[in-house]
Structure 1
Amino acid sequence: MEGTKLTKKMIQKSYINWMLWNLSLYQPETMQAPAVVKMVGDLREELYPEDSEKQKELMERHLPFFNTEPFLGAIIPGIILGMEAEKASGSDVPDDLIVAIKSALMGPFAGIGDALLPGTLIPILLSIGLGLSSDGSVTGILFYIVTFLGIMIPLTWFLFSKGCTLGAKAAELVLGSNIKDDIIRGISIIGISVVGAISCSYANINIGWTYVNGDYMLNINDVLNGIWPKLPVLLAALGTYFLVAKKNWSIVKVILLYLVVAVVGYFTGFLAV
């Protein structure tokens, strides 16, 4: 950011502001906009010394609705800061351009971030943590906290600072190609595969019926698992997909259905603990 008023200390201060307050005052009308206002507002004196009108305009630009995934989306407030610093240093950066780029980027990074973090990384880390804490140990909790922060802090700092450095060029890179669609598609496939594998490893549906003929007893659950391990889990997953994707059932209706099936199955002996 040579030639602008932006210093490394200002970038660090803004990064901390975003990471601490990105979900503060979170409500439907403005979502994460208050966090952006605070971020740029805390630098108003550095950007526009003793110019109250310019400071007011700076914060008003970021009052409208803004919402994205806050970790991978950290590049967007970085881009905003870089463009605001260019504008404050005398460059011809229209107000509408700053607002338009912010609005254009929040959707793509929300898609990428949601697919990569809640859809992939977090379930993987949680599954490992659950395994480590299966005996009541706090090891899994500590593993999740340390690993998640160990990944997110360097990643978000890199994205935020890189956004400051590139400014509007970062927006052109993302919006000017199909890279975001390829990333979302690839991550979604990975996420679905990983979540499916994790769900299968933790889910169990035990058939309680047995076939008895004299001294001969046949456990139907063992037979099914011998032919195809966790076949009932697979059938339940396919049934859920059919109800949600083809019949437009809500998740609440599916949960209620499985609750009824579980209760009836338990009392009839069809399902076993």
Structure 2
Amino acid sequence: MTSINQEKKDSVLSKKLIRKCYINWMCFNLSLYQPETMQAPALVKMFGDIREDLYPGDKQKQQELMARHLPFFNTEPFIGCLIPGITLGMEAEKARGEDIPEDLITSIKSALMGPFAGIGDALLPGTFIPILLAIACGLSADGQITGAIFYIVAFLAVMVPLTWFLFNRGVAFGAKAAELILGNDLKDDIISALNIVGLMVVGCIACAYANINLGFQYVKDGVVIVDLQSLINGVWPKLPVFLAALGTYYLMAKKNWSATKMILLYLVIAILGYFSGILTV
């Protein structure tokens, strides 16, 4: 039965059509982005361009196809491109007479957009992109354009093959693709490992670019006898930065402080610390 379904999908979806749908999704997933429909217009655009291929000459079926994908849809657009792929595969089967209710297609989209948004946000904005930006910032520390070029090339080199693969797997496996991924505990281990790597990168960035210099010194006859900053560096370099990072995490994660509040707090501490002599440049 699976091979029959695959043949039916293949009879409708050529590689050219799949590529057209993929490009549509990747280029327009955030177009007309607004609270009522979010990414749904991208799905409408995707299916609108192939409506004649799915339902040749049947205007009523074409209208139903596009109306089916107009309700609210929102997920992480890169990892989440698997969902449009799954939807495309199911629509192809439905167009060739398979008994696939409309409610099933919309329900699968609604059920998957949340989990895949969580996976995608953890892997990409939460881990992969910060790692690339950290490397790019290091390459451009002296004002060179190398970092920007590296970021663009590295991001595209990873994301284009990855999203193309996921989209095609979604088309090939239909609803089973989601079950295979969501039912596999391996995804949790991968996310945990990448989150750890991301935290390590953030820690390295803090140590490399953040500085807190203490101004406590014991001076006798114009000679510095004890320099607190030097003592701390001898025991634990960047200890003030580490403590500041922990404090930042506590306030933002536990007390729900916003980034704006943290910046204002840093500004007040820096001004008071400088004029009181507690902190130095």
User: Do they superpose with TM above 0.5?
Assistant: yes
- 8 Å CA contact 2:37–2:70 kept in 1: the answer is yes
C-alpha contact 2:131 2:198 (8 A) present in aligned 1 = no
Partner of 1:159: 166
Q: Is the contact made by 1:206 and 1:272 (CA closer than 8 Å) also made in structure 2?
A: yes
Q: Which amino acid aligns with 2:219?
A: V
Distance in structure 1 (CA, Å) of the matches to 2:279 and 2:38: 45
Which of these residues, 68, 86, 89, is aligned with residue 93 of structure 2? 86
Which residue of the partner structure matches residue 267 of structure 2?
Answer: 259
Change (3 A) 1:108 1:182: farther
Q: Which moved more, 1:237-246 or 1:253-262?
A: 237-246
Match of 1:42 among 38, 49, 61: 49
- 1:178-231 per-position Cα deviation (integer Å, ceiling 9, x unaligned): 455444444333322332333332222122332212253133222211110110
- Structure 2: runs of 5 or more not aligned: 1-5
| Residue 239 of structure 1, CA deviation | 1.4
Checking the alignment, whether the CA contact within 8 Å between 1:124 and 1:194 is kept in structure 2 is yes
Answering whether residue 269 of structure 2 is matched by residue 269 of structure 1, we say no
Q: Which amino acid aligns with 2:7?
A: E
CA contact (8 A) 1:79 1:163 kept: yes
- Say which of 235, 240, 245 aligns to 1:227: 235
Residues 134-161 of structure 1, C-alpha deviations (whole Å, 9 max, x = no match): 2221111111111110111111100111
TM-score (norm 1): 0.94
Q: Is the 8 A contact 1:3 1:89 kept in 2?
A: yes
Q: How big is the shift at 1:74?
A: 1.1
Q: CA deviation at 1:238?
A: 1.5
2:119 is the counterpart of 1:119: no
1:245 partner amino acid: A
Is the CA contact (8 Å cut-off) linking 1:17 and 1:35 kept in structure 2?
yes
8 A contact 2:134–2:201 mirrored in 1: no
Question: In the aligned structure 1, how far is the partner of 2:64 from the partner of 2:243?
Answer: 58
Please name the residue that 1:106 is paired with.
Answer: 113
What secondary structure is seen at the aligned counterpart in 1 of 2:263? helix
Q: What is the distance in 2 between the residues matched to 1:57 and 1:179? A: 38
Once the two structures are superposed, what CA deviation does each residue of 1:215-260 show, in whole Å capped at 9, x if it has no partner?
Answer: 5313322221111011001111121223233434333322221111
2:201 matched to which residue of 1?
194
Distance in 2, matches of 1:188 and 1:104, equals 25
1:211 matched to 2:204? The reply is no
Structure 1 counterpart of 2:18: 11
Deviates more, 1:148-157 or 1:121-130: 121-130
Number of aligned positions between the proteins = 273
Identity rate, percent: 67
Q: 1:236 corresponds to which residue? A: 244
- The one-letter code matched in structure 2 to 1:244 is M
CA distance in 1, matches of 2:252, 2:132: 27
Root-mean-square deviation (Å):
1.7
Q: Supply the AA of the counterpart residue of 2:166.
A: L
Question: Which ranges in structure 1 are unaligned for 5 or more consecutive residues?
Answer: none
Instruction: State the Cα deviation string for residues 55-114 of structure 1 (Å, max 9, x = none).
Output: 011011111111111111111111111111111111111111111111111111111111
SS at match of 2:219: strand
TM-score by length of 2: 0.91
Which residue pairs with 2:142 in the alignment? 135
Contact 1:209 1:219 in 2 (8 A): yes
Output the CA distance in 1 between the equivalents of 2:119 and 2:182.
13
SS of 1:30's equivalent in the other structure is coil
Equivalent residue letter for 1:2: E
